[in-house]
Amino acid sequence: MMCDDVERDLDPYVDRELDADSIAAIRSHVGTCASCRRRVAERAGVSRLVRSMPYRVASDRLRTRVVRRVQQARLMRRVLAGAAAAALILSTVAGITFARSRAIQSDALVEDLVDSHVRSLLAEHLFDVRSTDQHTVKPWFLGKLDFSPRVVDLAPVGFPLVGGRLDYISGRPAAAVVYQRQQHTINVFVWPASDRDSGVRARTIRGFNMRHWDRNGMSFWAVSDLNAVELDTFIRAFQLSPG
């Protein structure tokens, strides 16, 4: 059994839908492969989270509304398909189309960041390097990335550094620098930015607060379940701290 075979059968394996021989083969491989073992743990954590969600039977009224919306969506898709040829000549809306495309990409990126934050907690893979010393965490990334992430010591203001790890966000390698605020974890994702410096932009998605800004050729995304006031305090300290 190879890693590609495990990846292909990962979902049915976690959901116990494979035959006994296939399960035994995957268990044997996972026992000797740390990478596949981590993927199984991540997928199992997400599966447990989904199963823990409360289940409620939809009312007849809700079902009727959902069916109506699906029918409307199908009709709209047929209309849009018929209009596709005519859309080729509408060059005046090129700017609007580009803006919408950027918005869709941004939404996908935000979802990917939240998924990575959740996976790091569920699968207990929060650190590749665990340390409260910025002079240990920052050098650890050397040779593993083609950029050097910003790592600062914020313990004096109540946000101690606890470590870092490599991550992969929307097809790009990223550094994840990890801070703590009591029982709350703050993941700061960092990668090179092509845009000029920007102010801090705030978002809340799926119960997580997010802050994004670009500075000195780097893009920063902070994700946490910490309340908005304390997260903003962290961001100000992170930006102003020397390092």
Residue 42 lies in a domain: yes
Specify the DSSP element, H or E, that contains 192. strand 184-192
Please write the tens of the pLDDT for every residue from 36-70: 888 888 877 776 666 666 656 667 777 787 778 77
Measure Cα distances from 227 to 119, 129, 185, 186, 222 in Å.
20, 26, 11, 11, 12
Residue 7's domain comprises 3-51
Residue 95 lies in a domain: no
Same domain, 40 and 111: no
Q: What is the mean pLDDT of residues 155-181?
A: 94
CA dist., res. 110 & res. 212, Å (int)? 10
Q: Which amino acid is at 210?
A: M
Please write the tens of the pLDDT for every residue from 223-235: 999 999 999 999 9
pTM of the model: 0.58
CB 102 within 8 A of CB 178: no
Residue 76 lies in a domain: no
Residue 117 lies in a domain: yes
Same domain, 46 and 157: no
**How much is the pLDDT for 47?**
67
Same domain, 215 and 112: yes
Residue 90 lies in a domain: no
What's the total number of domains in the chain? Answer: 2
- CATH number of 212's domain: 3.30.200.100
CA dist., res. 148 & res. 153, Å (int)? 16
